[in-house]
Amino acid sequence: MYDLKNNLVNSAIVLLSLIFIGMAFLLTLVAESAAVALLLPILLILLAVVGIILTFVPFFKDHIRLIPVVDAVVGIIVAVIIHFLC
């Protein structure tokens, strides 16, 4: 049972990583500006740092599951802004 849960979590991480790689590669190829080409790697670093900082914020200490939601909202907003700017 432990193996099954572990393998499911690992497969989910692999799935996410592959989608990330695919999107990053795709954006690099279609990008007409550096902002688009580097959108995903920069977001990845930025959101990871923001997430780690949020773990020290009292509210998020108790609601750590909200960090992915905050990250996702920030990411989507940045994507929409970049789309209309570039």
Partner 1 sequence: MNNWSFGRKAVFCVISSVLASSLAGIVFILLNSRIRSLVVAVVTASFICALIFFIVSQLLRDKDTKVRITSQIASVVVGFLVIVSTVIINLAPFIVFPCNHNEAAYDDLTELSKVEDSRISEIRIDDLTGWRISSRSAKPDQKRPVIICFYGNGMNASATSLMIFKDKNGIYGDFNENTDFVCVDYPGYGISGGAPDSDSVKEMALKVYDEVASWETTSEIILFGYSIGTGIATYTASERDAAGLILWAPYANAYDIFNNYLNIFYGPCRLLVRFRMDSDKYIKNVDCPVLILASDADEMVPYQSSRDLFAAADGTAADFVSLSGISHNAFWQDTKALDNTYEFIGEVA
CB nearer to partner 1: give 11 or 34.
11
Q: How far is the CB of 49 from partner 1 (least distance, A)?
A: 8
Query: What mask, x for binding partner 1 by CB under 8 A, covers residues 49 to 78?
Result: -xxx-xx-----xx-xx-xx--xx-xxx-x
Please spell the DSSP secondary structure of 42-86, one letter per residue: HHHHHHHHHHHHHTTSHHHHH-TTHHHHHHHHHHHHHHHHHHHH-
Cβ partners under 8 Å of residue 78, min gap 6: 39, 43
Instruction: Note whether 37 binds partner 1 by CB under 8 A.
Output: no
- Select from 1, 4, 34, 85 the one that contacts partner 1 (CB under 8 A): 4
CB nearer to partner 1: give 34 or 65.
65
Q: Residue 15 has which token pair? A: 């799935």
